[in-house]
Chains A and B, each alone.
Chain A
Amino acid sequence: MHYIHAIMTVNGEAKIIEARGVYKSYGSVKAVRGISFTLSKATCLGFLGPNGAGKTTMMNLVYGMAERDHAPESMLRVFGYDPAKNELEIKYLSGVVPQENNLDVELNVMKNLLIYSKFYGIGKTETKTRIETLLAFMELSDKKKAKIKELSGGMKRRLIIARALLNNPRLLILDEPTTGLDPQVRHLIWNKIRQLKSNGTTILLTTHYMEEAFQIADKIIIMNQGEKIIEGNPKRLLEKHMERYVLEVRNKQRFGLIEDAAPKIVRKDKSSESMLLYSDDSDLLVKLTERLNPGDYFHRETNLEDLFLKLTGRELNEG
C-alpha cells in the first residue's frame, strides 16, 4: 500500500493534472508541441481542435498510452504521479472512454462489464451491485443480457462510459464521447457527465462539438497543429474574442454590394463561398439585410464554432 504523494494545491484547489511544456512527436510529425495546463478537481477541461490537432495524443499522454518526449522543462503529473513511471496508479484511479468503441462483441452487456471489473480487483458481490448501479445510471438496465450487436450506437457509447466508471474513477477521460450520436443521446450523456462532475469526478474531454464544450466544460483549450491557441472559460472566451452577432451572406452575387455597404466597424470574413460580417451591434447587421432577399442571409448570435474557425482557419487541416 502506498499513498498518493503530494497532489499540488493552488489556492486550496486540488490539481488533478499538471502539465508543463509537454511535447510528443511521432517521427517527424510533432503531434503535441509545448502544451501546458492544469486541471482542478471536480471540473471539466475540454480540448477542442480540428482532426489531427493532437487532442487524442494529449489524452494518451495523460494515462500512459503514449510516452512524452524527453524535454528538460517538460513536466506531467496526474494525481501527483508521472505517467511515464506510474501508469498503473494513474490508470487505477482513472476511467477511459476511447474514441473508437472497443467492446467485446462475443460477450453480452453485463459480461463486458464483468471482465473489466477483474482488472480492478473488485470483489464478486461488489461487482454485481456496481454493474446494476451503472447500467441503471446509463439507462441500460433492460439491455443487461443484450448482445453488443443488438445495441444502437448510442447504447454502445453509454456502455463504454459505464465500463469506464466501474472503478469509481476520480478522473474520467472522454475522447470524443458523443461523436456521431443523435441529439437525445448526446443530451443524456451531457447530463450524466454534469452529474458525475457535481459528485466530484474530474473530467478531461476532447470534442469537435462546440456545443458539447459549451455544455459541460468549465475550461477549454483550443489546439491546432499540436499547439495551444487559446485557453479559458468558453463563455468568457466568446465574450472576449468574438463580436456578439454575425450575418452570414450566402448569395455570392451580393458579396460586393454588402461589402461596400457595411460600415468599417463591422468585421468581414470573406471566402469564395461565404461572407461573414461580425458586429456587437445587431442593428447594424439588420440594416444590411435590407439589401438582401430573405433566403440570402442568416442573422444569428455568434457561437464557439465561430471562435474556433476564427482561430484555426476555414481551410481543411488535413494537409
Chain B
Amino acid sequence: MKGSSVTVKPPLYQRLFSVWYRHMRVYTKNLIANGLPPFLEPLIFLVAIGLGLGRYITDMKGMPYLPFLATGILVTTAMFTASFECTYGTFIRLEFDKAYDGMISAPITVNNLFTGEILWAGTKGFFFTFSVLAIVSAFGILSIKTSALAPVVGFITGAMFASLSLFITSFVKDINQFNFYFTGFLSPMFFFSGVVFSIDTLPKTMQWIAEIFPLTHSVRIVRAVCFQDYGRVLLYDLAYIVAVTLLCAFFAIKRLKRRLVA
C-alpha cells in the first residue's frame, strides 16, 4: 500500500460542481411544482399592478410604467427564489433530512458545501430572471436583446440573497422563525427598493433606509442594464452587492460549520 498508492482529492471546481449538481438534480425532479410558483408570481404581480394600477401612472422616472415595473420584477424573482432556497430549503436539509451530513462525508468541506449552494441559488436567480424576461419581452414590454445581461444581474442577486439567507438560517432554531425574515424584511424591501415606485420621491430618511436594502442596488443595476443607461453609481451598487455577499457568506459558513462539524 505504501508508496504505490496514489491519492488525489477532487479539485475545487469539481467539489463545488458536485454540490451544485446535487441541488440541481433534486430541484429539477419536481420542476413544475418547484419552478412554477416563482415564475408565475412575478407575472401575476406585473399584470395586476402594471395593467391595473399602471393605467393611472403615465410615467415613472421618465419612463413608461410597465417596463419600469417589469425590470424591478426581474430581480425580485431572483431574490425570492434564492431566499426560499437558503432558508426553508437549507433548514430542511440541515435539520430534517440530514442531507448535509451525507454530503460532507464525501470529499467536500463545509466551505465547499455552502459555496456550492450559493452558486446554485445564483443559478436559480439567473434562470428565473431569464424566464420572466422571456415572457415580458414576448409581450413587448422589454427587449430581450437589449436586456440580455439581466439574467447575470439575476445571478448576482440570487447569490447575494443566498448568502444573506444562509446567515439568517445560521441563527434559526425553529423553522417558523423564518416568518420574521420574510414578513419583516423581504416583503418591506420589495416595496421600498424602487421595484414598484421610484425611491427618489420618498422622504429623505426613507431614502437612506432604502439605500441600506440590498435589493435597491440590484434594481438599479438591472434597470441600467435593461435600458442601457449606465452611470458611475452602478460601481457603488456592485461593490455593495459584492460586500454583502462575501460578508454574509463568510459569517454564515462560519456559524453553520459549528452546527455541522463541531
- Chain A residues close to B by CB (< 8 Å): 1-4, 6-7, 9, 14, 26, 41, 63-67, 79, 87-89, 91-94, 96, 98, 100, 102-107, 111, 114-116, 118-121, 163-164
User: Do residues B10 and A9 form an inter-chain contact, with CB atoms below 8 A?
Assistant: no
In the assembled complex, the Cα of A26 lies from the Cα of B258 at a distance in Å of: 11
Mark the stretch among B13-21, B47-55, B123-131, B159-167 that contacts chain A. Answer: B13-21
Given A3-B3, A118-B18, do A102 and B107 touch, yes or no (CB 8 Å)? no
- Chain B residues close to A by CB (< 8 Å): 1-3, 5-11, 14-15, 17-18, 21-22, 25-26, 29-30, 97-99, 101-109, 260-262
* A67 partner, pick from B2, B10, B107, B262, beta carbons under 8 A: B262
User: Do residues B18 and A119 form an inter-chain contact, with CB atoms below 8 A?
Assistant: yes
Chain A nearest CB, measured from B70 CB (Å): 33
User: Do residues B262 and A26 form an inter-chain contact, with CB atoms below 8 A?
Assistant: yes
In the assembled complex, the Cα of A264 lies from the Cα of B105 at a distance in Å of: 53
Query: Inside 8 A of B14's CB, which chain A residues have their CB?
Result: 118, 121
Query: Inside 8 A of B8's CB, which chain A residues have their CB?
Result: 1-2, 92
| In the complex, residue of chain B having the shortest beta-carbon distance to the beta carbon of A101 | B98
Query: Inside 8 A of A98's CB, which chain B residues have their CB?
Result: 98, 101-102, 105
User: Do residues A92 and B107 form an inter-chain contact, with CB atoms below 8 A?
Assistant: yes
In the assembled complex, the Cα of A91 lies from the Cα of B113 at a distance in Å of: 14
Given A4-B2, A119-B106, do A102 and B101 touch, yes or no (CB 8 Å)? yes
Q: List 10 A-B contacts (CB under 8 A).
A: A63-B105, A65-B105, A88-B10, A89-B9, A92-B7, A92-B107, A102-B97, A102-B99, A106-B26, A115-B18
User: Do residues B2 and A104 form an inter-chain contact, with CB atoms below 8 A?
Assistant: no
In the assembled complex, the Cα of A64 lies from the Cα of B104 at a distance in Å of: 9
User: Do residues A102 and B98 form an inter-chain contact, with CB atoms below 8 A?
Assistant: yes
In the assembled complex, the Cα of A120 lies from the Cα of B17 at a distance in Å of: 11
* A4 partner, pick from B7, B102, B261, beta carbons under 8 A: B7
User: Do residues B107 and A120 form an inter-chain contact, with CB atoms below 8 A?
Assistant: yes
Residue from B8, B18, B21, B102 whose CB has the most chain A CB atoms within 10 Å = B102
In the assembled complex, the Cα of A105 lies from the Cα of B99 at a distance in Å of: 10
In the assembled complex, the Cα of A159 lies from the Cα of B26 at a distance in Å of: 18
| In the complex, residue of chain B having the shortest beta-carbon distance to the beta carbon of A104 | B26
User: Do residues A105 and B10 form an inter-chain contact, with CB atoms below 8 A?
Assistant: no
* A65 partner, pick from B18, B104, B108, beta carbons under 8 A: B104
Query: Inside 8 A of B26's CB, which chain A residues have their CB?
Result: 104, 106-107, 115
Residue from A63, A65, A67, A114 whose CB has the most chain B CB atoms within 10 Å = A65
User: Do residues B101 and A100 form an inter-chain contact, with CB atoms below 8 A?
Assistant: yes
User: Do residues A115 and B101 form an inter-chain contact, with CB atoms below 8 A?
Assistant: no
Query: Inside 8 A of B104's CB, which chain A residues have their CB?
Result: 65
User: Do residues B2 and A119 form an inter-chain contact, with CB atoms below 8 A?
Assistant: no
In the assembled complex, the Cα of A121 lies from the Cα of B105 at a distance in Å of: 15
* B1 partner, pick from A7, A87, A100, A164, beta carbons under 8 A: A7
In the assembled complex, the Cα of A79 lies from the Cα of B6 at a distance in Å of: 12
| In the complex, residue of chain A having the shortest beta-carbon distance to the beta carbon of B108 | A119
Given A67-B261, A106-B29, A106-B30, do A3 and B6 touch, yes or no (CB 8 Å)? yes
| In the complex, residue of chain A having the shortest beta-carbon distance to the beta carbon of B29 | A106
User: Do residues A87 and B109 form an inter-chain contact, with CB atoms below 8 A?
Assistant: yes
Query: Inside 8 A of B105's CB, which chain A residues have their CB?
Result: 63, 65, 91, 94, 96, 98, 164
Given A65-B261, A104-B26, A121-B14, do A88 and B98 touch, yes or no (CB 8 Å)? no
In the assembled complex, the Cα of A63 lies from the Cα of B109 at a distance in Å of: 11
